Amino acid sequence: TGIAFHPLTGEIWAVHQRPGIVDVLFKIDPATGTFIAGSFPGNQDYLRLRTLGSATDFTGLTLDPTDWQLYGAITDGAGTDHLVQVNRHNGNIADTGATTSELTDLSFDATGQLWAIDAGMLYAVDKTSAALDAGTDIFPLALSATRG
């Protein structure tokens, strides 16, 4: 799952996670909130996203505001976790590198710094290598004991 917005074109891309089946990338009409039929080359409604070995499930999607490259987090749910670049025209992916955590979402700030979260941690991510910093616990200490 994931969603990314292009501020210059108004395009919205989203990933539909289909367990056991290849995930798909589709576009959403910002005015109606519905998917846009025939919006990809060859009048396709969606693009099948490529997989990376056993990693088939996209868990995050974001657009770099410095070069408009689409990035995704992909996992197999069993320890194979990667940051990938996504070609928004054909669904191909390029592996940026393995991450040390199963990331649940991604986002860029205005400077092009990639950020990611997993179960309670916020990470700065090197978008050229997928390296995560040490991370910061995003829950206050008082709540840490109550989260599961």
Place of tokens 């990331």: 103
pTM of this structure = 0.89
pLDDT of residue 119: 84
* Average pLDDT for 85-103: 94
Percent pLDDT > 70 in the chain is 94
Are the beta carbons of 97 and 129 closer than 8 angstroms? yes
* Average pLDDT for 10-33: 92
Average pLDDT, the chain: 91
What is the side-by-side order of every strand in the sheet holding 47-48?
2-5, 12-16, 24-28, 47-48
* Average pLDDT for 88-94: 93
Place of tokens 């025209």: 89
Q: Is 80 exposed, middle or buried (0-12, 13-18, 19+ CB in 10 A)?
A: middle
